[in-house]
Structure 1
Amino acid sequence: MTPRTPALARLQRARWATTLLFAATTSLCLLILAVLAVRIDAQSRESELDNGVSRRADGLARTVYFDRGILHLDALREDDLALSSERLAVIQAPEPGRPQIRHTPVPRSALPHQADLDEIWQQVQHDQETVLVATESGGRETQWAAAPVWDDDQIAAAVLVGADPTQSQAAHDRLIHWLVLSCAALVAAASAIGHLLSGQAMRPALRGLDRQEQFLAEAAHELRTPLATLRLVVEGGSASPSRAPSALDEAVRLVDRMGRLVTGLLVRARVEAGTHEVEMTPLRLDQLVEQAVAELPNSTGVTAVTEAVVVCGDPDLLAQAVRNLIENALRHGGGTPVHVHVTDGRVVVRDHGPGVPAKDRERLFRRRVTGPGSTGTGTGLAIVKWVADLHGGTAHLAAAPGGGLQAELNLPRPARDEESVRHSLPREGAPCSRTRPTGTR
């Protein structure tokens, strides 16, 4: 897991900011849609209610009539519109006089007050067509439609049809309730999805940050020993003029080694970033191991037994992997002798130290994991594992016969003939190819 750094903290803050922006944008869009839906529903219900009472009032106004000044209401007793109306009344006003109720099948308390009847009558007289009026009685609102009834050339009566908007308003309130709950759920879901998407989008940046941290740790791991040795050599040469020539030769050798280390580090960083493909070339694994042993600052405790072996690989990366195996054995072997054996595409490094419990061996190949009691960065064996995977090989630890730990690096070998091996040259046209990493670190 990548440790929390200022760069990682900034990425995490950016992720949360993106999530909040996504949630705010979604909330605003849903709010606008919800407001539009509420207004459209309210207008639709109001229009439906008005149209309903207007049609009933117009229809019933055509069933009543005047004959020689007498209002006939018999048809209302059998008309389906009249029988199915919630509230119904017929009003008539003597000339001159206030309108009076001539017929109603509902209690008088369900009808408008006299003042409201006066206002309805005056409006019908003024507009001379069906009018809509909302009244309140007993704390409840009623929507009325009043249709005129003509006696020759004057309006002598009006049919009132009313409807209670309570049920429509209750359905409208339920719509608002479900809209609020649905929008809240959608905002929560959108926020969660936005957070996941922002995390997916930032994964390349996190991987790049992780690679950067790993590169710095590996660079420190690889360069720490040669830099310390170079310092000791330079200080020894400057303190004793007689040792200056040999110290200079040793310093040049160490600088060359650090140049190869830096090259290997850059190659590994570019390969893992996907900007570089490793050029696999046939090489002598035994000679590569012998050179790695010779470059050790203190190789007196290391013995190497090698056989001529040709493998396909990157020499800088394989040299790093071999050095890490040997240095790991020197560091954790308790000062015991280290034996290196190369045969048939396999590099075996053995120490005679306390070893590692079987349950911990695979774990040591992970990043930033060290052995018991170790204070190292935990990158050496992880690099070995990565190089092995890159070359299509394997790396593992095992208990050595007679005590100690045995580390093995196994590499696939190209098709070859024995004559090319005996002459220390890979066969021309050996099947090596470019490759990319087979796994992530």
Structure 2
Amino acid sequence: MRPALPRRTRTLTPTARVLRLRRRISLLFALTSAVGLIAMAVFAVRSDSARWREQLDHAMDADSSWALGLLETDENGRLATDVLADTVNTGCPPLTVLLVTGDDGRGGLTVQHAAAAPCLTVSPGVVLEAGRAAARTGEARGFDRRTTDGEPVRVFALPFYASEAAEAEPPQGVLVTMADATAQRDDHRRLVWVVTGGCAVLVLLSAAVGHVLSGRAVRPALSALGQQEAFLADAAHDLRTPAASLRTLAETALRGETDSTDVHRRTLRLAEGMGRLVDGLLTRARLMSGTATVARQPLRLDQLAEAVAEEAVEASAEGHRVRVEAEDTVVVADPDLVRRAVGNLLGNALTHGHAPGAPADVLITVARDGTLTVEDAGPGLPPGVADALFERFRSGSGSTGLGLSIASWVAHAHGGTLTAGPGDHGGARFVLRLPTSD
């Protein structure tokens, strides 16, 4: 026989595990609420059940005790019920007097008096059973029974003695009465339905509340997982190309097909590009996670733009031209983050804002209202992509795909905006707006 293969377990992603944890938390919250509500419901139902029985027993005990005062004993010591029959309507509620027979006073029971036309009719065995139970224990007893018509009734049996001094002896007889329990049973049944429906509604409500609360509890974890997955995707996407280029360059150098000086120069450019890429990835991760604090302070935006432009021109060996037209402008922003945003906008213009093989011509304008505009003379933006430029991986081939998205995050972190559109000379125009010190 072929051995049984082990069952393959499905590996859950971290997000799926967090969502499963949320469902379990919601279920646990609902079960805990259900257990508490059911316990309270059972207590309330039982308390109501005991209450209406006690009320009926108390009323019948009062009536029976008053009726006992009408029982008399003749000169021969025999129980006489004439006064009781003449004084009280023993038919409603039905009143039956049972006499205990036997040497020990706990033997058989004989009916001494019974109503001729009772308003509630039960079988004789029910009356005798109640009388025997009260005579056997010497205490009042109550029972739930049904009439011959099937209606609920409460039967109450009260033992009595020949004299007050004879309470330590067996009872002389038992007085049995009963009361209609239909109204009480109906009220109790309605209470059971109300409590059951209320518990069901509250359990559903608690489940919904638990689901909402668990969602809020796991939301930071889901957000962190999403940021982690996005960061890993960015890193894998952006590092794959330069890593492959480095491998190809190394293999070419090992085969001796390329001049060593050229290999070193290309390796240096790739290393610098990877360094900028890693720096951009880390900046983006800090911005998304909120760990990069925005240190707002008064900042000369015009001077920062001039410094960034000068550094870009010095670092470029392709003869790019960058002009700066700036007015004295003070904004309230983080110098490091704004420098990175302006540098990314300028770097994007120098990379894509010119024809192949021609140097770029970029104009940076700074206005007093905190607006910085970067405009190039390149081919411009493709139709319909202006709104998607600030998403990751949308900067175009040859770049990291993070520069514009980081610039957009920096703008929004300061309460500003970053928009893109066509320029006056056919190229692309990016407008960064930051709050001023006014």
Pair in the same fold by TM > 0.5? yes
For structure 1, which segment, 341-350 or 11-20, has the greater mean C-alpha deviation from structure 2 after superposition?
Answer: 341-350
Given that 2:157 and 2:177 are in contact with CA atoms closer than 8 Å, whether structure 1 keeps it comes out as yes
Structure 1 residues 55, 327: closer, same or farther in 2, change over 3 A?
Answer: same
Structure 2: gaps spanning 5 or more residues:
1-11, 103-107
The partner residue of 1:194 within 210, 227, 233 is 210
For structure 1, which segment, 37-46 or 97-106, has the greater mean C-alpha deviation from structure 2 after superposition?
Answer: 97-106
2:420 paired with 1:397? yes
Q: Matches of 2:398 and 2:224 in 1, distance apart? A: 26
Give the match for residue 424 of structure 1: none
Give the match for residue 344 of structure 2: 323
2:351 paired with 1:348? no
Where 2:424 maps in the other structure, the secondary structure is coil
Q: Matches of 1:175 and 1:293 in 2, distance apart? A: 85
Q: Matches of 2:209 and 2:293 in 1, distance apart? A: 36
Structure 1 residues 354, 41: closer, same or farther in 2, change over 3 A?
Answer: same
Give the match for residue 93 of structure 2: 87
2:236 paired with 1:213? no
2:317 paired with 1:304? no
Structure 1 residues 155, 389: closer, same or farther in 2, change over 3 A?
Answer: closer
Equivalent positions of 1:262-341 (< 5 A) are 262-278=278-294, 284-292=304-312, 299=318, 302-306=320-324, 313-315=334-336, 318-319=339-340, 322-323=343-344, 326-327=347-348, 330=351, 338-341=360-363
Given that 1:397 and 1:408 are in contact with CA atoms closer than 8 Å, whether structure 2 keeps it comes out as yes
CA deviations 1:29-65 (Å, max 9, x no partner) are: 2232223333333233333332232222112222444
Measured after TM superposition, the shift of residue 196 of structure 1 is 1.0
For structure 1, which segment, 40-49 or 65-74, has the greater mean C-alpha deviation from structure 2 after superposition?
Answer: 65-74
Equivalent positions of 1:62-73 (< 5 A) are 62-66=69-73, 68=75, 71=80, 73=82
Give the match for residue 362 of structure 1: 387
Q: Matches of 1:95 and 1:310 in 2, distance apart? A: 117
Given that 1:284 and 1:310 are in contact with CA atoms closer than 8 Å, whether structure 2 keeps it comes out as no
Where 1:21 maps in the other structure, the secondary structure is helix
Given that 1:89 and 1:101 are in contact with CA atoms closer than 8 Å, whether structure 2 keeps it comes out as no
Measured after TM superposition, the shift of residue 111 of structure 1 is 4.5
2:171 paired with 1:161? no
Q: Matches of 2:101 and 2:237 in 1, distance apart? A: 112
Give the match for residue 261 of structure 2: 245
Give the match for residue 22 of structure 1: 29
Structure 1 residues 263, 119: closer, same or farther in 2, change over 3 A?
Answer: closer
Given that 1:87 and 1:111 are in contact with CA atoms closer than 8 Å, whether structure 2 keeps it comes out as no
Number of matched residues? 402
CA deviations 1:317-357 (Å, max 9, x no partner) are: 73466336644785598859753222327241335436355
Given that 2:393 and 2:401 are in contact with CA atoms closer than 8 Å, whether structure 1 keeps it comes out as yes
For structure 1, which segment, 146-155 or 388-397, has the greater mean C-alpha deviation from structure 2 after superposition?
Answer: 146-155
Q: Matches of 1:157 and 1:307 in 2, distance apart? A: 119
Q: Matches of 2:98 and 2:381 in 1, distance apart? A: 113
Where 1:38 maps in the other structure, the secondary structure is helix
Identity %: 28
Measured after TM superposition, the shift of residue 411 of structure 1 is 4.9
Structure 1 residues 291, 166: closer, same or farther in 2, change over 3 A?
Answer: same
Given that 1:325 and 1:380 are in contact with CA atoms closer than 8 Å, whether structure 2 keeps it comes out as no
Where 2:94 maps in the other structure, the secondary structure is strand
Give the match for residue 9 of structure 2: none
Given that 2:252 and 2:258 are in contact with CA atoms closer than 8 Å, whether structure 1 keeps it comes out as no
Task: Give me the CA root mean square deviation.
Answer: 4.5
Q: Partner letter of residue 387 of structure 1?
A: V
Given that 2:130 and 2:176 are in contact with CA atoms closer than 8 Å, whether structure 1 keeps it comes out as no
The partner residue of 2:156 within 113, 134, 145 is 145
Where 1:12 maps in the other structure, the secondary structure is helix
Q: Matches of 1:105 and 1:22 in 2, distance apart? A: 61
Structure 1 residues 168, 378: closer, same or farther in 2, change over 3 A?
Answer: farther
Q: Matches of 1:393 and 1:118 in 2, distance apart? A: 93
Given that 1:288 and 1:319 are in contact with CA atoms closer than 8 Å, whether structure 2 keeps it comes out as no
Q: Matches of 2:249 and 2:315 in 1, distance apart? A: 14
Q: Partner letter of residue 361 of structure 2?
A: H
The partner residue of 2:48 within 41, 44, 48 is 41
Q: Partner letter of residue 318 of structure 1?
A: R
Q: TM-score, normalised by structure 2?
A: 0.71
For structure 1, which segment, 188-197 or 46-55, has the greater mean C-alpha deviation from structure 2 after superposition?
Answer: 46-55
